Every structure is written in C-alpha cells, then in structure tokens.
Amino acid sequence: MSTTGTGAARSRELAENLAAVRDRIDRACRAVDREPGGVTLIVVTKYFPAADVVALASLGVTDVGENRYQEAAEKFAEVRAQLVHDAPRLHFIGQVQSNKATAIAALADVVHTVDRPKLIAPLARGVRPGSRLGVLVQCDLATGPGQADAAHRPGDRGGARPESVTDLADRLAGEADLDLRGVMAVAPLGAPPEPAFDRLADLSARVRADHPGADWISAGMSGDLEAAIRAGATHLRVGSAILGTRPPLR
C-alpha cells in the first residue's frame, strides 16, 4: 500500500487537494444552477492507508469509497477503532463477488455495485442487526438497449444492462433489510462521458418513477466530475485528484 509522505505534510497535501476538488464541485454546480449541498463527495481511498482515511475525516470527509473487500475490511477495522463514533461512512464501489457479498454487506454502509439478482439474498443475509444496507443498481453504460449481444470489452467494469435495471431495482426495493438508494455507473473508457451520463440520468428517472426515494445518482470521478454534475449526479466518487496517483493495478 502506498503512502505519500507522513504526518503533517501528508495532511497538508490532502487538505489542499480536497479544497481544489471542492472548488471544482462548487464551480460546476454554479454553472448549472445546482446547490453544491446537493452533491455528496465520496473520497475513494483504495490503495491508500488507514492513516489517510483518519486524516481525511479530520478534514471533514464523511464518506469514503473502497473497491476491494479484504483491503477495506483491514483498513476500516483500524479506522473504526481509532475514530469510534466519527468514522466516515463506507461506500463499497468495487465488483461484488457472490461469495463475498454477505461479508461486504456486514462491512459497508452502502453498496453501489449491485448488478445482478443473485447478489440480493447474500447481501440481505449480511446486513448488521438493527440497520439497513443502502444499495444502488450499477448500470452498464457501455452497451445501449438492443445491444445485449455486444461483446464485452476487456476491462469491462460490470453493471446491469439498461433493460434489466428497473427489474433489479424492484427486487431490491422488495427486501426489508435493503434500502434502494438509486443508480450508479462508471463512464465507459475512451469515449466522451456526456452521452453515458445522460443515459444514466434516464435510467434514474425510470427507477424513480416507481421508487421516488431512490434518488441517488452515483457518477463522476477525478476526470469527469464536471460532466457528471451537469448530468445530475448526486454522489461523486473521487480518488486520485485527492489522494494522488495510485500504483499500477495489482
């Protein structure tokens, strides 16, 4: 796991990066007459240590994203031991393997990446007693409706096909222990994000027609958060613009 400097210097660097990202969010919101308060920043801390999460929390970060179960479990055991009642909410944003779904549900506060019905039962089983797990339907924006046979590209990031999103949303909404929050997507690589984010906004409207409370749109990363805000994103997932460059994929 990478660290970039320690202690005070690292905190200063995180504070500066965070301020720059918050400024980008403010300006993007103002440009389209949106309230910055309507956009939640989820800081993606994958590959970076628990100390960074603790430093970010002291800078006012309330929401953190992680994409691998094992790493998140180890890191958040540390974070929660240190911060007890002030630990940030944990958003799971990585692909959910069926055999890890129960453990992910027990660890996270929100899972953004539910993309198939098979995950519902194991997720529901893991929900901590007395609480409900927030869930979002991850949408595949690489293939439009009617392109169901399109070959999956290497590096495919997962997601339910557009035509199955509302069905999956209905099923999630029917689970007592799950709280359907909305939709999530990653813009396809190597293409302008705008058309993809517009398709996501469309899918969100279709889900909200039957589930008005499921109004989260989780979209936008370091490189495309302005486009996501223009398309109505309510939750941004920003990593490298705040934490710095990650080491290459393991």
Task: With H, G, I as helix, E, B as strand and everything else as coil, classify residue 106.
Answer: helix
Shortest Å distance, C-beta 98 to ligand PLP: 19
First vs last C-alpha separation in the chain:
10
The residue whose two tokens read 């199955």 is: 164
Give the nearer residue to ligand PLP in terms of CB position, either 62 or 82. Answer: 62
Among 221, 228, 229, 233, binds ligand PLP (CB under 6 A): 221
Least Cβ distance, residue 222 to ligand PLP (angstroms)? 3
Binding-residue pattern over the window 158 to 187 for ligand PLP, x denoting contact by CB under 6 A: ----------------------------x-
Out of 21, 25, 56, 93, the only residue in the binding site for ligand PLP (CB under 6 A) is: 93
Neighbours of 231 (CB within 10 A): 24
Binding segment for ligand PLP (CB under 6 A), chosen from 56-64, 81-89, 99-107, 235-243, is: 235-243
Task: Tell whether the torsion through CA atoms of 154, 107, 54 and 180 is positive or negative.
Answer: positive
Give yes or no for residue 237 binding ligand PLP (CB under 6 A): yes
Give the Cα separation of 88 and 41 in Å (integer): 12
Structure tokens at 174: 């029917």
Residue 44 in the binding site for ligand PLP (CB under 6 A) = yes
Q: Cβ of 64: how many Cβ atoms within 10 Å?
A: 26
Q: Which residue has the tokens 């970039």?
A: 4
Tokens (6 digits) for 20: 């720059």
Taking CB under 6 A as the rule, does residue 75 contact ligand PLP?
A: no
Q: Does 25 bind ligand PLP (CB under 6 A)?
A: no
Residues of this chain that bind ligand PLP (CB under 6 A): 44, 46, 67, 93, 186, 221-223, 237-241
